[in-house]
Amino acid sequence: MAYSGNTGLRRLRSALCYSGRGMLAAWRCEEAFRQQVVLCAILLPLGFWLGDSPVERALLAGSALFPPIVELLNSAVEAAIDRIGPERHELSARAKDMASGAVSLSLLMVAVIWLAVLL
């Protein structure tokens, strides 16, 4: 996309609009993103409630935001690769698998943080 000449608050507004469109597209088209957001909607307030200190609350609630972020990146990788073409290619498969692995690790990170803080 070409530089639009937006600066300052206009650039910020444009960036927020693009971000909103991206999250809306992920919500509409990606089941895994919807699942991550539902999990986040449950864990985020629970993290603030269960944390005993500001650090614990930040760890619990903050970690809940990580999987949807990684899922957005995973979906972006998949969409870009699918745009290239439908034929199977080793590098395309590797990129998709690596992005999926990042999602799995983000979920593992949430589990480890929650277990460490709560136990």
Q: Is residue 2 part of a domain?
A: no
Residue 71 annotated to the active site? yes
Q: Per residue in 65-96, pLDDT tens?
A: 999 999 999 999 999 999 998 889 999 999 99
- Could you tell me if 102 and 74 are in contact, meaning their C-beta atoms sit under 8 angstroms apart? yes
DSSP string, 50-70: H-SSHHHHHHHHHHHHHHHHH
Of the listed 30, 56, 71, 78, which one is catalytic? Answer: 71
Q: Per residue in 22-76, pLDDT tens?
A: 999 999 999 999 999 999 999 999 999 999 999 999 999 999 999 999 999 999 9
- Could you tell me if 63 and 36 are in contact, meaning their C-beta atoms sit under 8 angstroms apart? no
Region of residue 89 (left: phi > 0; alpha: psi -120 to 50; beta: else): beta
Q: What range defines the domain where residue 61 resides?
A: 31-118
Q: Is residue 52 part of a domain?
A: yes
Q: What is the CATH number of the domain that holds 61?
A: 1.10.287.3610
